[in-house]
């Protein structure tokens, strides 16, 4: 039996919470899943920008911070693709 729309959405929500972590919990309380993803992606991009600035200023923890932000951004972009697939699949007339 195939999962229904709510099960897929809940599974993606669980993955988003795991990827985003506690620092981004505010982004996960309002709006649709796609809005939550967009908010988290924007925040992680800002974090990556800050890390780049730290690297330019020769701050030692800038590189690990940037690497972590890039990994989180990659995972969030993957979740966005899965959310788009969810929307396309469940919006199709059967």
What is the band of 92 on the pLDDT scale with cuts at 50, 70, 90?
low
Cβ pair 62, 54 in contact under 8 A: yes
pLDDT tens, residue by residue, 32-70: 889 999 999 999 999 999 999 999 999 989 999 999 999
Token digits of residue 87: 């929307």
Among the listed residues 54, 64, 67, 10, the one whose alpha carbon sits nearest the alpha carbon of residue 33: 10
Greater pLDDT, 93 or 13: 13
The C-alpha atoms of residue 9 and residue 3 are separated, in whole angstroms, by: 10
Indicate if the alpha-carbon torsion angle 30, 45, 18, 86 is positive or negative.
Answer: positive
State the pTM of this model: 0.85
Cβ pair 80, 37 in contact under 8 A: yes
């Amino acid at each position: 039996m195939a999962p229904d729309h709510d099960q897929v959405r809940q599974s993606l929500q669980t993955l988003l919470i795991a990827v985003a972590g506690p620092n981004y919990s505010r982004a996960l309380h309002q709006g649709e899943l796609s809005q939550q993803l967009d908010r988290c992606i924007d925040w992680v991009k800002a974090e990556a920008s800050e890390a780049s600035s730290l690297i330019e200023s020769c701050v030692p923890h800038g590189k690990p911070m940037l690497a972590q932000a890039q990994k989180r951004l990659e995972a969030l972009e993957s979740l966005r693709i899965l959310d788009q697939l969810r929307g396309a699949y469940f919006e199709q007339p059967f």
